[in-house]
Structures are given as C-alpha cells and as structure tokens.
Amino acid sequence: QKKKQQSRTRAWRQAARTSPGPDRRGPSPTDSRSAGGTRGPFLRKKKKLMFTTRGDLRARSAQEGDKVSRSIQTRLVHMTDKLDDPFDSVAPPIYQTATFNQPGATDFGPYDYSRSGNPTRTLLENQMADIENADGAFAFASGMAAIATVMRLVKPGESVLAGNDIYGGTQRFLGKIAPNKQGLHVRHVDMTKVDEVRAALEEGAAEGNAPVKLVLIESPTNPRLEVCDIAAISAVAKEHGAVVCVDNSIMAPIFQRPIDLGADISMTSATKFIAGHSDVTGGILSVVGKDLCDEIYFHQNAEGNMMSPFECWLALRGLKTMALRMEKQAENAARIAAFLEAHPMVKRVNYAGLASHPNSALHASQASSGGSIISFETGSVEASRRIVEDTKLFKITVSFGSVTSLISMPCYMSHASVPAEIRRERGLVDDLVRISAGIESIEDLIGDLEQAFAGAEKAVAAGAQ
C-alpha cells in the first residue's frame, strides 16, 4: 500500500480555505470556486493529518525528548517535522509542482494546488512557527506581500497605527494604498513613546472616531535604529482590541521573538537573514491564535501571494546557518559601530548595541544582540556619498541581511518613496548612511571603511577650497 500523502501544517487550513475569519464574508464550503477551483462540496473531505500544530508538539514533547525545549540553534538544523521521504534524504526534497494528482474524482489528498499549499512551503512554515513560538506561519512572495496581507485585517473606515521611522515600502503602502484604495485611516506616532501610542488608541476609541484595529511596530526601526517597547505597546493595544504586528526583519527570531513579548504577528523578511545570501525574495508571518491564522491563510490562498516552492527550499537551507551568520554579522557590526563612533567625520551613530544608544537598556531587555544594522550621519551629503561609493567590499544595495556587507544612503534608495517633507519632519536626514555588516574579516571591513573615509575627507576638503 502506498504511503499516505503528507498534509498541511494544520487541520484548520482546509476549513480556512473558505472561511475568511471572524466577521468576514466569504464563499460557502460548497462554492465550486473555493480553494484550488474545483473542490465544491468535497472540500472538507480530508485525509488524516500527519503534520502537527504547536499544541500537538507541546503535548508530545515529553515522549520525544522534549524537542521543543532545545535551543533555537539546534531547532534550525533539525526540523520539527519531516516529509514522508522514502529515501530519508538529509536535505528536504523540493516539490516544484503546480498541481497534485488526486486519489479520485471525489476523494482529495492533502494537497491539490500549490497556491493553496505545497509540501516544501509547509516545511518552511512549520519551522518558522516552531522557532517563533507561534500557532501558525505563512510564507509570502515578499515582505511587502506579507504586510499587505496583514492590512487585510482592517476594514474600511477603521484605523492603522504605525511609527514615524519605518521601512520605505511600508510607508508607501500606508501613504498611498491603505487610505486611497482600501479606505483605511492611517496615523503615525513616535512609537518610542508608549504614552503617544496609548493616546492614539484612546482617541480612536472615542465615539465618532475610526477605531485602531492594527498597530504596526518596528524595533529597532529602519533606518534610524530606534527602539520601541514591544511588550508595553502590545499590552496597551490589546486593551483596545487592536492586533499587534511587529516587523522583526532587523533582528529575526535569532535575536528577538515578538510573540514572546505579546505581539499577535511577527513579520520577518525572508529576503534578509532567513535566506541570507541575497538570492531569495520572501516574507513570513508567524501568527498566534486560530482565528487570526484562519484569516491570514484565507487571504494568502485567495489572493495567491505565497512564496514559491523553490524559494521556500532556499529559505529552508538558509535557516540552518542563520544563527551562525547572524552571530558573526552582529560581532562585526559591534566593531564597526565602535569605529564609527570614534571617527571625527561621524556626527551620530545609530546602533542598538552601543551603550550610548538612548534605549540600549530597553533593547537589551527584549533582544539578545544589537544586531548587524548600523546607520550614521556625517552632516554632509557629499561626504556620505563619497564614503558609500569609495568602499570596495560593501555592495551598494537597498537591502540588508546578506553574508556580503552592504551600504546605502536610505533617503536616495530604500526610503526614496517617502516624501522629502515627511523625511525632514521625522528626522530622516539626507546624509544618513546605513550599513549591513556581513561575515567578512572585520579587519578587512574596517580597513575598507578607513580608506573610504580618508578619500571622502580629502574630496570634501578639496571642494571647500
């Protein structure tokens, strides 16, 4: 007898295909247009699941050596779940397929169409849920695809509350799409001040105002590396019935786990540290709560913005070395930050791991490392430009989190879509330089920065004469 096909991560996924979550309308379980397109009244007929939920894992942990209590470094290498591979390959197989043959015309296996689910994607989602201590995880085609799906949780007429210092792509969505295409109210506050967050939530709760249903947090923020109190903001948001989503791309679950701090959703760009080699575009939502998982999966399936099997496979491979890479990158970043802080051309250094950071103690209380992202100001756009362009080992890119060291001027690159007046209002200066430390020799990296600074200093001096 042939072995049963592997199922998706959770039994509720089948129901979630046609259930858009609480208080949402969607097709009925007998709608022939649901899920892959032809399931109709047979949608809920499903084989016994072989993948497990976090609750199942906790229940069986005592019988299997308490796997879920192992360190995150070990859990990254040894996946909680495995495919039913007859050859027991060390590397998981990739299911690069769009569709799956079914047992019969009215009898369906656990997978039918890769938009709705794919075994390779299931492995990635299960592992991310495991290391994030979430109830479910969902892999998307990009970080912005993941954030756009989170925005679906908010109905027209309701409000989204976000910080002042956020990723440029998120700001573009909140500034142009959310209010103009989705009918949402968007408000920005200084997320480093919990009192401002509380005041905005209370104002939204007042009669006649648009209630805040979603709070978006970044900590540390991109690109000024401000630190927000995730636990305190999550607690206040829940008092007002708002969902909390943390963009955790800069720290990733190696250094910070927002769900443990009270967040409902942790968003991590797989493009960054998860894959780690600048060869994948993806985003992952790790989610707490069945209803929220149902709703996120409904939109992922209905809108088809999932991560492809091949990129899921690359992300799975990247996870195995993520801890090693990030620890080395953070070690290099700390050395670079100290070098920058001592350099006479540098006016300000933003790095959560520095004792001089205004919220270093708060960051240390919720994260285990300063991370590998640094930004600094020179006071001169021309000096900053020369530093960026004169480096030899640092690639000039809009992203971060690669094994290769990266450098950029955010106002002209990743945050160029943020209007200049808003940048000025929020303290995002044009001369700001952002560095993403890679895994190269720290002596080589600092030597490269030294020569770039020396060249920039000469060029600026010559230009002033």
Here the tokens at position 464 are 């002033």
What is d(CA 73, CA 423) in angstroms, rounded to the nearest whole number? 39
Preceding peptide of 410 cis, ω within 30°: no
DSSP 210-266: PPEEEEEEESS-TTT-----HHHHHHHHHHTT-EEEEE-TTTHHHH--GGGGT-SEE
DSSP-based three-state secondary structure for 439: coil
Catalytically active residues, by annotation? 115, 167, 247, 272
CA 369 to chain centre: 17
Output the CA torsion 307→313→318→320 (10° steps).
130
Where does residue 443 rank: exposed (0-12), middle (13-18), buried (19+ CB within 10 A)?
A: exposed
**What single-letter DSSP state applies at residue 49?**
P
Which sign, positive or negative, has the C-alpha torsion 152, 402, 378, 361? positive
Q: Are 245 and 263 in contact (CB under 8 A)?
A: yes
Q: Name the one residue in this structure whose structure tokens are 């607690």.
A: 235
Q: Which two tokens stand for residue 432?
A: 């700001």
Give yes or no for a contact between 293 and 287, defined as CB atoms under 8 angstroms apart.
yes
The number of residues in the chain equals 465
